[in-house]
Homo-oligomer: A and B are copies of this chain.
Amino acid sequence: MYLAKIKVTYKPSVLDPQGEVIKSALHRLDYETVEQVVQGKYFEVKLTASDLEDAKQLIESMAEALLINQNTETYDYTVEEVEG
């Protein structure tokens, strides 16, 4: 069994309105030292695969097929073998 942890964020060139909203909310709560906030999506996917390489390929394929919008988002991930 493999566990992938996938972080999805907007590409740097894409405006992140949600991040701006959160930054101003944090400033209103007196967290003045916050300079920048980025909000994205986080996925954990448990899957079986023949080996680590196969798990990686499956994850990259799933990410690009469903989990991210390739026009506006970018992602990075880790995959590790787990029990169960």
Contact = CB atoms under 8 A, between A and B. Distances in A.
**Interface magnitude class on chain A:** 20 to 34
A66 to B, nearest CB: 6
Contacts of A38: 43-45
Residue among A22, A38, A42 having the largest count of chain B Cβ atoms under 10 Å: A42
Interface of A: 1, 5, 7-9, 22, 25-26, 29, 31, 33-49, 58, 61-62, 65-67
14 contacts: A22-B43, A26-B45, A26-B66, A29-B62, A31-B47, A33-B48, A34-B62, A35-B47, A37-B46, A39-B41, A40-B43, A40-B44, A41-B41, A42-B42
